[in-house]
Amino acid sequence: MLILTQEEVKQIIPLSQIGKVVERIESAFSKYGKGEVDMPPKTYLYFKKDNGDLRVMPSFSEELKMAGTKIVNVHPDNPKSNLPTVGAVIVLNDAKTGAPLALMDGTYITGMRTGAAGAVAAKYLGKKDAKSMGVVGAGRQALFQIAATASVIQIKDVLVCDPNEKNIDTLSAELGKIGITIRKAGIEEVSKQDILATTTPSRSPIVKSEWIVPGTHINAVGADAQGKEELDPAILKKAKIVIDDWAQASHSGEINVPLANGVITKDDVYGSLGEVVAGIKKGRENDQEITVFDSTGLAIQDLFTAAMVYEEALKRGVGKNIEIF
């Protein structure tokens, strides 16, 4: 069994090469849209007293001949203890024998593949001449959303807002290493860009409907648990809503609260990103459409990315082999 640390995973897929992950994630969505992968909905364990949760995410691909399971936690108070808000490990298993092939850090992979999903959505749902990007929240996911989107779309202007300006400064320094420049702006100006990514843990809407202009594409990333929402529900009422997975999105995605409150119904959801990428449904149909991608994160994204890391690690001789049993 191959063991890969976070530093080793970063060595194999550095941020500057996130474009490779975007290609892999695009393939994963296409396979999902065609029904060529097996992926039960993620399972949650809630630690209410500790303000956190644990999620188990299994999936299987016949093409890869592998199964993958990610165990990921989300604990918003962790930074107070100098720990990441999100932490994860991924186990890969041989489909033929069931034997474990690898155990690797999944925290960095989670960030990369989530950013990559946003880039895929922007490619299919954003305007063809999109040139600007706004990001609400300057945490770790903002880094991946910007880097991934910039790898597939020629973004000329990136605006970011965050109540903690130090977060923006840190984000700016990291993106500067790969040649991307950002600037600070207020949330209303940020929301008026061609592509908007929301990456906060908010449990009440922070992006107002009147700020969104025709032609905007929104990647709603922050809502990943029951009760979370970042967008004014009125935005969803006038948008083409594309989800990653119905079971997950209806339970814990951006649409979960508006659905529970009866603001929207399942009929208001246009389809899944997998269907769009696979060509089963059309993506953006005109420059005036407002499109929303509700990203909850799929286990197949982890599997396809982790499999790529595993294959490359074997080629390079990276990692440590152990006998697990």
Domain 117-297 coded CATH 1.10.150.670 = no
Q: What is the mean pLDDT of residues 90-114?
A: 97
Q: Report how far residue 311's alpha carbon sits from residue 313's, in angstroms, rounded to the nearest whole number.
A: 5
Confidence of residue 214 (pLDDT cuts 50, 70, 90): very high
Measured in degrees and rounded to the nearest 5, phi and psi for residue 322 equal -135, 155
Q: How confident is the model at residue 224 (pLDDT cuts 50, 70, 90)?
A: confident
When pLDDT is averaged across residues 241-260 and rounded to a whole number, the result is: 96
> What pLDDT was estimated at residue 320?
97
Which pLDDT score, from 0 to 100, does residue 225 have?
81
Name the average pLDDT for the chain.
Answer: 96
Q: What is the pLDDT of residue 124?
A: 98
| pLDDT at residue 104, rounded to an integer | 98
- To the question of pTM greater than 0.85 for the whole model, the response is yes
Which CATH architecture is the domain 2-109+300-321 placed in?
A: 2-Layer Sandwich (3.30)
- Decide if pLDDT at 42 tops 90: no
pLDDT at 270: 98
Q: How confident is the model at residue 265 (pLDDT cuts 50, 70, 90)?
A: very high
Q: Which of 10, 31, 49, 70 is catalytic?
A: 70
Listed residue (218, 117, 135, 122) closest to 171, CA to CA: 135
- What percent of the chain is predicted at pLDDT more than 70? 100
Please give the average per-residue pLDDT across 280-285, as a whole number: 97
Mean pLDDT within 277-305: 97
Shared fold status for 2-109+300-321 and 117-297 = no
d(CA 246, CA 21): 24
Determine the Cα–Cα distance for residues 186 and 240; give it in Å rounded to an integer. Answer: 26
Q: Is 70 among the catalytic positions?
A: yes
Of 28-32, 46-50, 81-85, 100-104, minimum mean pLDDT range: 81-85
Residue 85 has pLDDT above 90, yes or no: no
The SS3 assignment for 60 reads strand
DSSP string across 209-251? GGGPPTT-EEEE-S--STT-EEE-HHHHHTSEEEES-HHHHHH
Query: Average pLDDT of 270-289?
Result: 97
All residues at 6 or more sequence positions from 19 whose CB lies less than 8 Å from its CB, including other chains: 148, 151, 152
CB 253 within 8 A of CB 223: yes
Place of tokens 């500057």: 16
Instruction: Judge contact between 41 and 248, C-beta under 8 A.
Output: yes
Alpha-carbon distance 325 to 321, whole Å?
Answer: 12
149 near 123, Cβ under 8 Å?
A: no
Tell me what the mean pLDDT of segment 91-108 comes to.
97
Domain boundaries, the chain: 2-109+300-321, 117-297
Phi, psi of 235 (to 5 degrees): -65, -45
- H helix and E strand count, the chain: 11, 18
**Residues 207-224: what's their mean pLDDT?**
97
